[in-house]
Amino acid sequence: MKATMLPIGLTLLIGLTFFFSACQNQYYSAAPLGERQTLEKLAQSYNDIATQLPTAPSGLNPKGKLKFVTSVFEKNGFSYTLTAQQLVAVPDSEITQYHKDMMELLLVPTQGLAKNQWQDLYSKQELQAIQTLATKFEQL
């Protein structure tokens, strides 16, 4: 009985295809903080993506807002989660207006949502960062 084998090149190609498909969303980095240019890029993406929505971003439900803001970051090669986590680590004494603007963008999904409902929206990892950012933002 003869076993049928795929040519090694085809096997490698299939394996790499599956690998890159599974990992494609893992290569986003945190957005640079405190930079006007970064905020301008994000603002442009916000406007571009918002024009494709059937309603204004503020009219979306919380999960829709999170998906929207996440897509704004990803369109620029950034991770929503990593950016929130990085921003939490910025000492209060170093917070600039650009940091505050980034916080405001990151907190869009929480607008109109009671804090006790945030755990339904975020992973544990994200929730901790978002709660800390919200507290920082309120104190600034």
Q: Which two tokens stand for residue 24?
A: 């494609």
Show the CA angle centred on residue 44, arms to residues 42 and 49, nearest 5°: 95
* pLDDT more than 70, % of the chain: 81
Name the more confident of 11 and 30: 30
pLDDT value for 16: 41
* pLDDT tens, residue by residue, 37-86: 999 999 999 999 999 999 999 999 999 999 999 999 999 999 999 999 99
Mean pLDDT of the chain: 87
Of 22 and 40, the structure prediction assigns the larger pLDDT to 40
Taking the C-alpha atoms of residue 55 and residue 57, their distance in angstroms, rounded to an integer, is: 6
The alpha carbons of the chain give a radius of gyration, in whole angstroms, of 19
Confidence of residue 27 (pLDDT cuts 50, 70, 90): confident
Residue 7 has pLDDT above 90, yes or no: no
- 116-121's contacts with Cβ under 8 Å and 24+ in sequence apart are 117/62, 120/62, 121/62, 121/63, 121/66
pLDDT above 50 for 89: yes
Whole-prediction pTM: 0.80
Q: How far is residue 42's CA from residue 72's CA, in Å, rounded to a whole number?
A: 6
- What is the average pLDDT across 116-137? 96
In whole angstroms, what is the distance from residue 36 CA to residue 107 CA? 18
